[in-house]
Structure 1
């Protein structure tokens, strides 16, 4: 593989440790790695020199909770769409995120190995993509988008489906193993109710302790961790006690539970910008408090659930 080398100069560099913009620096990039930062001219005769023209150079942004395949507000309709349409829409979403400065995306349900392969092979312009595959949900859980009168199976094979149903210890073990086989780099579970699913209010606890412990064991056997959709303090505490390491949303956490989570080595991904975004822009997308309208398209995946 031929090495590509670039020297950037003539701009400001963001020093994230000091929180300041620094001038007069040069930066050498070799392939996809920063090789050198210098206060003087970098001696690299084979490198292409790029004048920033006073612009600011900064590290790439990371979106730690996103759903790149969620192209409709109505998740049931999204899941029913052809996978080819979802893939093309997702490619557009990711390219727009790249152009906004995001160089890594951690997808919290839906994105698959195929999208990741297309990015790694250079078929689409997109940030690096970290995937968990399909989120695991119990029946009538946050990943079960069916109305009460609808007992048809989920579109689990569709790229547009964010999750899959698995009930009971044996089923969740198999589902965890299958997602790992399909390329998951961590496992996502729905451990609490939510606003994007029709039959599980926020207070609802989901998955038994035995099921969560089984999922955690299978993930850890493979050197992976488990992330959980969780809002209420009770669900957060329960998830931490069962070995979950990544707490998604966790809006209603108490200081006591936060200390417990920190002592257990868990991290929080609060997604607060999503709620601010909904408050500021939700009406422009036609969103109502309950239920969300059907067939609303997003230009970008701001509606992190």
Structure 2
């Protein structure tokens, strides 16, 4: 069915300009036309008068874990994959209702989940998946306790990561994820909060291993995403060709300059750290790991400010797990003290689209682009509107269909 959005204010996220009184014709999942005058004819079209509402691109979250319905990630391998898929369907539908029409899953989702959304079996955003993140033994993707020796790395078990050690093994693991249709390869190159046996400050994977994974990804025309907090780990990743740095809370000036020089992107995830600090224990996050948050919590906003000042492109990402996933829109609020509304909007639209290499398809309201849109009742470039996104959100449209 053709859908026409009438009397719309269109936000150009590239220039920050507003085109008033426009009429968008949505056909076959694309923005067919943007007219300056009312569209006549098309008697069978569905017409929606947005009455001066502001049309922006669908939001893109570049750091989600769609299968992480529980905040205790070590429990996932004990669950039925069918049950986890059902829980993931609920999480994905909620993401779509919030205005996210594309998400990049960086550990957990696979071809089956993405296909279920694509075929309309699950309502949700488009899922760009990396399969299981690659982790060294004892790294951030290894959720075995110190007294646990059982093998839990079978691919059929639900988990966010898989273990691999040595150049030959990481090449094989990367090739396997590519075989399974990955859009990117995720590596755990630094210690993390949810993992039980590593430290935030520990580097993970040798530089030779990182370079080998990047080589495999690039041969397949893909890119590598790296979990990294410390400046040293960020530098090791970027020097070896990693394109997308996740978190980056302990970034320093020298490493920020290196990222800018090499064209790397940063995806800060302030939301998950704030959520764990606020409600982690009652959300089921393992209490013995909550104190790890203190090492990186307050430094996150400083890293965002540094990246903004250095000119590093920043994408929107949240990294939320378990019941904390309902805080997905909080990233706007948490960045708002140091990032302008236009740059925040770009982070969740055009910059994110560039990062996932879909800049010619999504991230803008333009003829020929996918009809993934949000309609707000206020100008998102005004202070406070993105911060209170849910209150101003009228409609979400994915592939030309109004879904909320």
Same topology, TM > 0.5: yes
- Contact 2:72 2:284 (8 Å CA) reproduced: no
Give the superposition deviation at 1:279: 4.0
Q: Distance in 2 between matches of 1:69 and 1:200?
A: 23
Aligned to 1:253: 251
Structural mapping, 1:81-230, within 5 Å = 81-158=79-156, 160-230=158-228
Q: How many Å separate the matches in 1 of 2:20 and 2:218?
A: 45
Separation in 2, partners of 1:9, 1:97: 26
How far apart are residue 105 of structure 1 and its match?
A: 0.3
Alpha-carbon distance change, 223 to 286 in structure 1, aligned in 2, over 3 angstroms: closer
Contact residue 247 and residue 269 of structure 1 kept, 8 A: yes
Gap change, CA 1:73 and 1:173, over 3 Å in 2: same
SS in 1 for 2:234: helix
Mapped to 1, the partners of 2:168 and 2:73 lie a distance apart of: 27
Conservation of the 8 A alpha-carbon contact between 1:112 and 1:159: no
1:298 corresponds in structure 2 to: 323
2:81–2:157 CA contact under 8 A, matched in 1: yes
Higher relative contact order (CA 8 A, sep 6+): 2
**Other structure's SS at 1:71 match:** coil
Secondary structure of the 2:250 match is coil
**Once the 2 structures are TM-superposed, how far is the Cα of residue 90 of structure 1 from its aligned partner?**
0.4
Q: State the partner residue of 2:261.
A: 263
Q: Secondary structure at the match of 2:138?
A: coil
- CA distance change for structure 1 residues 287 and 211 in 2, over 3 Å: closer, same or farther? closer
CA distance in 1, matches of 2:74, 2:58: 33
Decide whether the 8 Å contact of 2:68 with 2:322 is kept in 1. no
**Do 1:11 and 1:56's aligned partners in 2 also have CA atoms closer than 8 Å?**
yes
| Residue deviations 1:87-109 (CA, integer Å, cap 9, x gap) | 00001100001011000000011
> Deviations along 1:244-265, whole A, 9 cap, x unmatched?
1111111111111111112112
Distance 1:143 1:90, change over 3 A: same
Q: Is the alpha carbon distance of 1:19 and 1:253 closer, same or farther for their aligned partners in structure 2, counting shifts above 3 Å? A: same
Alpha-carbon distance between aligned partners in 2 of 1:278 and 1:53, rounded to the nearest angstrom: 40
Change (3 A) 1:221 1:15: closer
**Residue in 2 that maps onto 1:5:** 2
- Take 2:179 and 2:326, find their aligned partners in 1: how far apart are those partners? 27
- In the alignment, structure 2 segments of 5+ residues that lack a partner are 291-320, 329-404
Provide, for residues 17-68 of structure 1, a one-character-per-residue CA deviation record: whole Å limited to 9, x for no partner: 4546654221111122112222211245153222235544321111010101
**Residue aligned with 1:89, SS:** helix
Residue 229 of structure 1 aligns to a residue in which SS? strand
Q: What residue is the counterpart of 1:24 in the other structure?
A: 21
Give the Å deviation of 1:278.
3.5
Structure 1 residues 163, 283: CA separation in 2 closer, same or farther (over 3 Å shift)? closer
Which has a greater percent of helix?
Answer: 2
1:260 and 1:299, CA in 2 relative to 1: closer, same or farther beyond 3 A?
A: closer
CA RMSD of aligned residues (A): 2.2
Q: 1:273 to 1:299 in 2, by over 3 A?
A: closer
Distance 1:82 1:266 in 2: 37
Shift of residue 14, structure 1, vs aligned partner: 3.5
Gaps of 5+ in 1: none
* Cα contact 2:71–2:283 (8 A) shared by 1: no
Q: Matched residue pairs, number?
A: 297
